[in-house]
Amino acid sequence: MSVKIVENVLSKKHYTELNNTMNNDYFPWYFNSQKVEGDDNLFHYQFTHLFFNDNQINSSWFNQLKPLLKKLKVKNLIKIKANLNPISHKLIEFNKHVDCPINPKHQSIIYYVNTNNGYTKIGNKKIKSKANTAVFFSSNYKHCGTNATNCKNRMVLNIMYKKEK
């Protein structure tokens, strides 16, 4: 299992712009009653924003991601979704899932928008949520995320793309 972690992905200027955009009172977040399909646990919910899906831009905020996509050298996009998990009194590790079980050429990136005490678990490896850090892995690896207990929310971008040869 290959997992690559890259810190300080964006310049301070570009990171601040992206962070401010996603923390803006007018940035649209949409309620999802499930974190993972089929999980009906009352406390396993999140807010999301779908930037890109089905070969098309789905958000007027997409251009805010251009510096990040350029820096990550991502082409052949499949999906970009922002996840916001509200604070809780207890750190919850949500159910494991795969982003794309079918195609091993599909890759995932989790980009941490803010620093908090949440984490992503890929296999048995825990990766702490650290702002402006990206985690690269195959979309068919089982993984899960958490909420946070030390700030108002945990925000990540989940980027899926088709890996070039």
**pLDDT number for residue 41:** 62
**pLDDT number for residue 141:** 85
The whole model's pTM is what?
0.93
In order of start, what are the domains of the chain with their CATH numbers? 4-162 (2.60.120.620)
**pLDDT number for residue 165:** 59
**pLDDT number for residue 154:** 96
Helix, strand or coil for residue 38?
coil
**pLDDT number for residue 117:** 98
Residues of the chain with pLDDT under 70: 1, 34, 36-39, 41-44, 101-104, 165
Q: Are 156 and 32 contacting, i.e. CB atoms less than 8 angstroms apart?
A: no
**pLDDT number for residue 71:** 94
Taking CA atoms, 141 is separated from 2, 27, 42, 98, in Å, by 9, 30, 26, 6
